[in-house]
């Protein structure tokens, strides 16, 4: 047995680095028990003879993506859970959690990691989020028999299956299930479980069926959603479909349509899937090509690149490239960007004397509405080189949780955030007025001493050889305001321009 050698979030944080470099959003992973490996089957096809994402594991069963996108894998034979985000040969990898009794399924979310322990006939569900040695640790749920899988439905209920007695329990509230009436009974080789839309589905390996147990009762008489030979595991991937892993054909089927899949073309083939269980895990989130409204994604173009209309955080980019041609022009303005002191980088923008009357409505509705402000920086070739984004409408800022935005006079707004959480922006003061008046000022900075380093750097160096710069301020539900400044001073780590 490999020794546990990292505590708390240390192992997870190691995994975070690899998550961004190794595993792309949208990845679909399946574990191979007999060969000790994990395969990335994203895109489908034949995986016979192809390299595996991870190898050297001791009976891998459950897999899941947990806090910060780290990939966890349960190893049944050693009673461990390992962070596998780096991939590669994990035969000498350090364990994240030890002392587990036959770990099977894992269930993760952004804050927690749960594991099913199947040995001794008194199966348990244990919270292993903190990592460490869980020998004798208290369980969230116990007395489940021989549990195999964990799944959730659209109502957030947590289901756990008991393969030995063909049962499904509602484990949402935890507890001891020795004398608890199961939600569903009468199954045959009851293994994988998942929610799919408003349905709750379970894999009955003994009958080659996926059963709809939404209303509970006797699995032998409940509706059959799909027939899949040797089905052992299920996963619902939002926006992509419902997938079923089968041991008899070493394949994964996409079964969203329901029906009989005997003889149908699988989604993925050439896999070494165990007849006991196969872990399935999907890495969702920004960049997976699926618009997640619940995560407040405004767009998702299948990547996490900036500069292509949908930014790295799946927000629609307001900054145009090249710059907009219809902004309200400032008659005066200045731009100062400096990074001479590392961790103390600063940006100051000032626009004034607008050539048109500016009303408060032209500045959006950032207090009770949903206004977003982007400050866009362009070089003298009109190339977008970077931006600041403030998306804090109807939000609170600072230790006192005051509203981020407040009114200034009858025609303006003020933004203040001492923590500089949005692109390092600490202050915005926007004032309307008649033509020839009105102004907008923006201040952003980093403060390494306070661990505030969210402002983008190197803008100054990308302007240092330019004959000027353009700044445009885009208000999502208002207008665009812009100014072009000439260069007053440009050198390494410093740019100053003025109109």
Task: State residue 295's pLDDT score.
Answer: 60
Whether the pLDDT of residue 152 is over 70: the answer is yes
**Which comes out higher in pLDDT, residue 11 or 152?**
152
Residue 302 lies in a domain: no
Is there a single domain that holds both residue 195 and residue 338?
no
3-state secondary structure string across 92-141 = CCCECEECCCCEEEEEECCCCEEEEECHHHCCEEEECCCCEECCCCCCCE
Task: State residue 489's pLDDT score.
Answer: 93
Please tell me the distance from the alpha carbon of residue 277 to that of residue 272, in angstroms, as a whole number: 11
Task: State residue 380's pLDDT score.
Answer: 94
Is there a single domain that holds both residue 91 and residue 210?
yes
- Each residue of 206-227: b (16+ CB within 10 Å) or e? ebbbbbbbbeeeebeebebbbb
Task: State residue 308's pLDDT score.
Answer: 60
Task: State residue 21's pLDDT score.
Answer: 38
Task: State residue 382's pLDDT score.
Answer: 95
**Total domains present in the chain:** 2
Which of 265, 282, 299 marks a domain boundary? 282
Is there a single domain that holds both residue 157 and residue 36?
yes
Is the CB of residue 76 less than 8 Å from the CB of residue 102? yes
Q: Tell me: the pLDDT tens digits for 38-78? A: 999 999 999 999 999 999 999 999 999 999 889 999 999 99
Q: Tell me: the pLDDT tens digits for 249-272? A: 899 999 999 999 999 999 999 999
Residue 316 lies in a domain: no
Residue 270 lies in a domain: yes
Domain span at 344: 328-498
Residue 289 lies in a domain: no
Least confident range of 14-18, 76-80, 296-300: 14-18
Assign 36 a pLDDT band (cuts: 50, 70, 90): very high
Assign 12 a pLDDT band (cuts: 50, 70, 90): very low
Is there a single domain that holds both residue 233 and residue 348?
no
pTM: 0.67
Residue 363 lies in a domain: yes
Please tell me the distance from the alpha carbon of residue 459 to that of residue 495, in angstroms, as a whole number: 9
Task: State residue 22's pLDDT score.
Answer: 61
Is there a single domain that holds both residue 124 and residue 222?
yes
Whether the pLDDT of residue 393 is over 70: the answer is yes
Q: Mean pLDDT, to the nearest integer, of 343-348?
A: 96
Whether the pLDDT of residue 358 is over 80: the answer is yes
Residue 374 lies in a domain: yes
Tokens of 22: 């190794």
Whether the pLDDT of residue 335 is over 70: the answer is yes
Task: State residue 15's pLDDT score.
Answer: 32
Q: Tell me: the pLDDT tens digits for 71-124? A: 999 999 999 999 999 899 999 999 999 999 999 999 998 899 999 999 866 799
Please tell me the distance from the alpha carbon of residue 346 to that of residue 457, in angstroms, as a whole number: 9
């Amino acid at each position: 047995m490999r020794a546990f050698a990292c505590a708390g979030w240390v192992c997870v944080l190691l995994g975070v680095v690899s998550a961004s470099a190794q595993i792309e959003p949208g990845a679909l992973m399946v574990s191979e028990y007999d060969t000790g490996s994990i395969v990335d089957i994203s895109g489908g096809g034949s995986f016979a003879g192809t390299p595996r994402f991870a190898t050297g594991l001791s009976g891998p069963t459950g897999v899941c993506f947990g806090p910060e996108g780290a990939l966890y894998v349960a190893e049944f034979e050693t009673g461990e859970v390992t962070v596998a985000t780096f991939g590669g040969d994990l035969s000498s990898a350090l364990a994240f959690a030890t002392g587990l009794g036959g770990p099977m399924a894992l269930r993760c979310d952004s804050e927690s990691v749960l594991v099913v322990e199947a040995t001794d006939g008194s199966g348990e569900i244990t919270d292993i989020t903190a990592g460490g040695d869980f020998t004798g640790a208290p369980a969230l749920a116990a007395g489940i028999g021989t549990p195999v899988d964990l799944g959730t439905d659209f109502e957030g209920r947590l289901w756990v299956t008991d393969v030995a007695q063909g049962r499904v329990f509602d484990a949402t509230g935890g507890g001891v299930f020795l004398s608890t009436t199961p939600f569903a009974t009468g199954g045959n080789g009851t293994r994988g479980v998942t929610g799919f839309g408003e349905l709750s589905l379970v894999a009955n390996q003994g009958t080659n069926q996926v059963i709809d147990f939404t209303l509970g009762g006797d699995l032998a008489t409940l509706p059959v959603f799909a027939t899949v030979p040797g089905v052992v595991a299920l996963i619902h991937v939002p926006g992509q479909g419902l997938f079923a892993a089968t041991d008899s054909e070493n394949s994964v089927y996409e079964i969203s349509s329901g029906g009989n899949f005997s003889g149908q073309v699988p989604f993925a083939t050439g896999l070494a899937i165990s007849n006991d269980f196969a872990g399935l895990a999907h890495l969702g989130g920004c960049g997976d090509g699926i618009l997640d409204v619940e995560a407040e994604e405004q767009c998702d173009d299948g990547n996490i690149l900036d500069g292509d209309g949908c930014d790295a955080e799946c927000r629609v980019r307001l900054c145009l490239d090249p710059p907009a041609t219809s902004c309200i022009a400032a008659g005066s303005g200045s731009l100062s960007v400096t990074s001479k002191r590392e961790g103390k980088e600063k940006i100051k923008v000032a626009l004034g004397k607008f050539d048109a009357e500016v009303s408060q409505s032209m500045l959006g509705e950032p207090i009770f509405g949903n206004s977003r402000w982007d400050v866009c920086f362009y070089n003298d070739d009109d190339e977008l080189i970077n931006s600041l984004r403030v998306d804090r409408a109807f939000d609170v800022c600072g230790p006192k949780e005051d509203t981020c935005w407040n009114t200034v006079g009858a025609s303006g707004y003020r933004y203040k955030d001492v923590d500089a959480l949005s692109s390092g922006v600490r202050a915005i003061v926007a004032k309307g007025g008649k033509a020839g008046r009105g102004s907008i000022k923006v201040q952003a900075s980093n403060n390494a001493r306070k661990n505030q380093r969210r402002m983008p750097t190197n803008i100054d160096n990308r302007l240092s050889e330019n004959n000027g710069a353009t700044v445009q301020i885009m208000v999502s539900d208002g207008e665009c305001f812009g100014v072009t400044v000439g260069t007053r001073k440009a050198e390494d780590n410093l740019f100053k321009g003025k109109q």
